[in-house]
Amino acid sequence: MLLTMDAPVLVTANEKMQMTQVKVDAPHPGEVRVKMFASGVCHSCLHAYDGSHATPMPIILGDEGSGVVESVGEGVTTLVPGDHVIISWLMNCGTCQACRNGKPAHCWAPSPFGALLDNTQRFHNAKTNENILHYGPATYAPYTVVPESSAIKIRKDMPLDKAALIGCSVTTGFGAVTNAAGARPGESVAVVGCGGVGLNSIQGARVSGAFPIIAIDTSEAALKMAVKLGATHTINAATEDVVAATKKICPRGVNYSIAAVGNTKAMISCLEMLSAGGTMVVLGAPPSGTTIEFDPTARILTGERRMIGSKYGSSNPHVEFPMLIELYLNGKLDLDSLLTGSYRLEEADKAFEVLAKGGHGRGLITFEQ
């Protein structure tokens, strides 16, 4: 059945989103339609909103959300209406060799940007009939449509607001340390950029038994939150020399540096603070087309250092979302302290303004139920 909803549509970068009447198609075979409960506000969407990432439009943003399955398409076998789900933004096919191998980030046939797997949209402007693009799972839509493999069923006693955060920032930040870096007890971890993603790298480091755990940010408020979530040391990047300050704590450099901000200067610092044998994990996404320069002999070769990328914390959401929920429900993962701002859908622009200032944990949009 076709539905109509009011959703914020980004038409021009650096301008407010337009609340638009949007028609939502019924899910196609292999897809599910989800009534959204909550959506976190991620800097990846802010990159599209402020134009730092070149993004086709008109588009509905949102990459981090939870909700309840409203209807399922033909052939869907793992979900029924009423199931509680966290949405994965990978939009992977679920059936290729990489997906079956638990590496959905390496999917051979993921949805093309702005569309579902069959390269078409489920959102249409109700007045003009123009197609509206999906920013991955488009979790700012009160109703969204995703492939079956992108809606991960969760236990019903998990609060859906906290669950939404697992859809991007928690899984990405946590997994960067536990999966991509693979930090072990007593190894040192520095996290550069302690926002929604980086704060969860701090938590991943804490749960892994890492020490010291060094939080680095330009905002004192972010550093305060980092300490609450497990950082043992802090460095203010606005006032201190980040590499020198890190080497005061770890004179031979750190085992792992996590670049959790889309800033090239911060990325160079991450490389320069590594010990011999150390690994830098790239999470942040600098503006489209930006590059960094470094001396490969001094920085990589002689110290056998590594620089690796981590998409979605190198996770398999079907395994990791339920695991993170268990950690939360058993007091091992703090999701409550991450939530610092609550917004109605109409206030999504305001949520971006707050996020852009830094130091604010995670804002959450909640939908009318």
Ligand X SMILES: NC(=O)c1ccc[n+]([C@@H]2O[C@H](COP(=O)([O-])OP(=O)(O)OC[C@H]3O[C@@H](n4cnc5c(N)ncnc54)[C@H](O)[C@@H]3O)[C@@H](O)[C@H]2O)c1
Least Å from the CB of residue 315 to ligand X: 9
For residue 298, the Cα-to-chain-centroid distance in whole angstroms is 32
107 binds, among Zn ion, ligand X, none (CB under 5 to 8 A by kind): Zn ion
Q: Which of 42, 271 has the CB closer to ligand X?
A: 42
Rg for the chain (alpha carbons), in Å?
A: 20
Residue with tokens 């007091």, as numbered in its chain: 331
Q: Which of 188, 234 has the CB closer to ligand X?
A: 234
The pattern of x and - marking residues 272 through 291 that bind ligand X according to CB under 6 A reads -----------xxx------
248 binds, among Zn ion, ligand X, none (CB under 5 to 8 A by kind): none
Q: CA 365 → CA 64, 207, 344, 351, 368, distances in Å?
A: 10, 28, 5, 8, 10
Structure tokens at 302: 């002689």
Work out whether 198 is an interface residue with ligand X (CB under 6 A). Answer: yes
Work out whether 39 is an interface residue with ligand X (CB under 6 A). Answer: no
User: Strand, coil or helix: what is 217?
Assistant: strand
Least Å from the CB of residue 149 to ligand X: 17
Least Å from the CB of residue 124 to ligand X: 28
Residue 41: which of 289, 300, 351 has the closest Cα? 351
Structure tokens at 43: 């800097």
Least Å from the CB of residue 244 to ligand X: 15
Work out whether 307 is an interface residue with ligand X (CB under 6 A). Answer: no
217 binds, among Zn ion, ligand X, none (CB under 5 to 8 A by kind): ligand X
Cα 254 from Cα 243, distance rounded (Å): 10
Least Å from the CB of residue 168 to ligand X: 5
CA angle 147, 43, 340 (to 5 degrees): 105
Is residue 359 left, alpha or beta, with left meaning phi > 0 and alpha meaning psi from -120 to 50? left
Instruction: Name which of residues 235 to 264 contact ligand X (CB under 6 A).
Output: 237, 260-263
> Out of 9, 17, 24, 42, which residue is the one contacting ligand X (CB under 6 A)?
42
User: Strand, coil or helix: what is 196?
Assistant: coil
**Interaction site with ligand X (CB under 6 A):** 42-44, 47, 168-169, 172, 192-198, 216-219, 222, 237, 260-263, 265-266, 283-285, 310-312, 355, 358-359
